Amino acid sequence: MDYSEVIFLGSAYFIGLLASRLSFPPLVGYLIAGYGLNFAGIGSLPALNHLADLGIELLLFTVGLKIKLNSLLKREVLSVGGLHLIIVTGISALLFFLQGGQTTGGLILGASLAFSSTVLAIKVLEDNGELSTFHGRDVLSILILQDIIAIGLLALADGENPTPWAFGLLALPLLRPLAHRLLSSTHSEDLRLLLGVFFALAGGVLAKQVDISPDIGALLMGMTLASHTKTEDIAEKLWGLKEILLVAFFLQIGLSELPSLVQIQDALMLLALLPLQGCLFFALFLLMRLRARTAFISSLALMTYSEFALITTEAVVKAGLLSAQWQAVISLSVAGSLAIAAPLNRFSHRLFSNFEPFLTRFERKTGHPDRLPDSIGVAEWLIFGMGRTGTSAYLALHEKEQRVVGFDADPTILKQLLADGRRVVYGDAEDTELWDGLPLGRIKGIVLTMPDFEVRCSATTQLRKRGFTGYIGTICYYDEEQAQLQALGANIVVHPLFEAGSHLAKKMFFS
């Protein structure tokens, strides 16, 4: 490693750190670092392009790991994702046609701009503990649908004629039983990481041999492992490696060309259209009968331009379907959209609360697939968060013949618990409308086991504001959390890990 590599890594880190401290995604910092290095006259490293390509292949491989056809076939996913794509793509192609420009390139560019940032949306949902909620699953499914279409656009933009053997790639998912058996026999975490990288790169090499984009091969190879119980583990292991390699991709964009004043103006015009993207998503979600809250939070998570727009624009420019100036315009637009969306998504629930009286006017009054419970019957105890801790609390109360109802925002968990005969209903603890509508008159106590500390604080505050005088029990992981929750009105606060150790010691001592 020479001094130039140290400069590249150091610049990416320190500017990424500054962006993070300012509540922006680090990748915004990486783009700025690339532009800064370019402005300073520092050229690109020979290995940078190769590392960027590897990062993209790993990104698409992890997308393939998440693809589940049943989640993509939901009405709101196909309708919202499909209609949004058609509308934005059509408008873009029309504008290029009216201006006498390259209509095919405008068509692909419009489709690229309809995509949302997978990295940012997943990061926001993950940080908020909402990946498995109703709206989190819909957002993730729409993102995957967009990613699949993006792969098709890459194949179209490459302009290469695939060999007849290219159709053989479609048989890769048929190797799923063999791939699953290989993964099942791999018990070491290091070997699972190595296996994931091997599968991703092998798919890319196979695709390249038949003149198909390596990204498509990586995606299909990911699909061969999809639905295995250990795919989440592989995706988690690959996440850090993929993020490091994608730093090279974002640096490469900044190093390619400094934007001109005209390009900056074009990028600002595209950023000015972001609110229209959000409004379009919001309207389409409402059309599918989702509640205003679900539609707003989902639209905010999708109101960005995607990293895939950078990849597809690069391919379109190389194919001669668009002028080279669009590469700088799109890179600035993507970076700007992430910079705008990141802080907005951090406070999405608070923003909805501020605009709730206005936004709820637009929602349909009946037929919500994310509807709140109409009644909790004669329940006297409520459990919010039906994970391991919440289910244990539910079973303990049930064994004492107490009337208890569980709430959770994860449809998969609800389905499993209902199949087991538990009394559970859909309910998101961050939903202020839920707390406003709950009949609390006969409730003796409420247990809050949601993993996010801010959600537990908010729920405790909402309950005491409504005049609830019963018991509130919750969990904590740090001493300062316990003090704060008690100050807000929680009667009982326990540390799950401490309680588990204490219970284990008692059982050993008295056995």
For residue 263, the domain's CATH number is 1.20.1530.20
Domain boundary among 335, 362, 389: 362
Let me know whether 252 and 326 are in one domain.
Answer: yes
User: With bands split at pLDDT 50, 70 and 90, how would you rate the model's confidence at 52?
Assistant: confident
The Cα-based distances of 190 to 167, 186, 187, 201 in angstroms read: 33, 9, 9, 17
pLDDT at 71 over 70: no
Whether 367 is covered by a domain: the verdict is no
Let me know whether 190 and 223 are in one domain.
Answer: yes
Let me know whether 90 and 212 are in one domain.
Answer: yes
Residues 6+ apart with CB under 8 A from 235: 62, 65, 66
Whether 352 is covered by a domain: the verdict is yes
Let me know whether 203 and 161 are in one domain.
Answer: yes
Whether 114 is covered by a domain: the verdict is yes
101 DSSP 8-state letter: -
Given the DSSP bridges, would you call strands 492-494 and 404-408 parallel, antiparallel or unpaired? unpaired
Lowest mean pLDDT among 102-106, 177-181, 297-301: 102-106
Let me know whether 178 and 150 are in one domain.
Answer: yes
Q: What is the mean pLDDT of residues 438-445?
A: 87
Domain boundary among 334, 362, 390: 362
pTM: 0.71
Whether 171 is covered by a domain: the verdict is yes
Let me know whether 236 and 346 are in one domain.
Answer: yes
Burial of residue 380, with CB atoms counted within 10 A of its CB: 0-12 exposed, 13-18 middle, 19 or more buried: middle
Let me know whether 57 and 192 are in one domain.
Answer: yes
pLDDT at 217 over 70: yes
How many domains does the chain divide into? 2
Let me know whether 195 and 340 are in one domain.
Answer: yes
Let me know whether 353 and 385 are in one domain.
Answer: no
pLDDT at 395 over 80: yes
Whether 225 is covered by a domain: the verdict is yes
What pLDDT is stored for residue 484 in this prediction? Answer: 92
Q: Which CATH number belongs to the domain containing residue 468 in this structure?
A: 3.40.50.720
What pLDDT is stored for residue 131 in this prediction? Answer: 66
Domain that holds residue 345: 46-362
The Cα-based distances of 278 to 19, 143, 161, 209, 270 in angstroms read: 24, 15, 37, 41, 13
Query: In 3-state terms, what secondary structure has residue 247?
Result: helix
User: With bands split at pLDDT 50, 70 and 90, how would you rate the model's confidence at 159?
Assistant: low
Whether 98 is covered by a domain: the verdict is yes
Q: What is the mean pLDDT of residues 12-36?
A: 83
Give CA–CA dist 5/18, Å, rounded: 20
- Output the furthest CA–CA distance in the chain (Å, rounded): 85
HEC string for 390-419: HHHHHHHHHHCCCCEEEEECCHHHHHHHHH
Let me know whether 281 and 398 are in one domain.
Answer: no
Domain boundary among 362, 393, 411: 362
Per residue in 223-280, pLDDT tens?
888 777 777 778 878 877 887 888 888 787 777 767 788 888 988 998 998 999 999 9
pLDDT at 3 over 80: no
Whether 15 is covered by a domain: the verdict is no
**Pick from 129, 92, 145, 505: which is nearest to 322 by CA?**
92
pLDDT at 1 over 70: no
Let me know whether 209 and 83 are in one domain.
Answer: yes
Q: What is the mean pLDDT of residues 467-496?
A: 90
Whether 30 is covered by a domain: the verdict is no
Take residue 347 and report the two structure tokens written for it.
Answer: 């406070």
Query: What are the φ and ψ backbone dihedral angles of 447, each rounded to 5 degrees?
Result: -110, 130
User: With bands split at pLDDT 50, 70 and 90, how would you rate the model's confidence at 132?
Assistant: low
Per residue in 319-355, pLDDT tens?
777 777 888 888 888 878 887 887 888 788 788 888 8
Let me know whether 354 and 399 are in one domain.
Answer: no
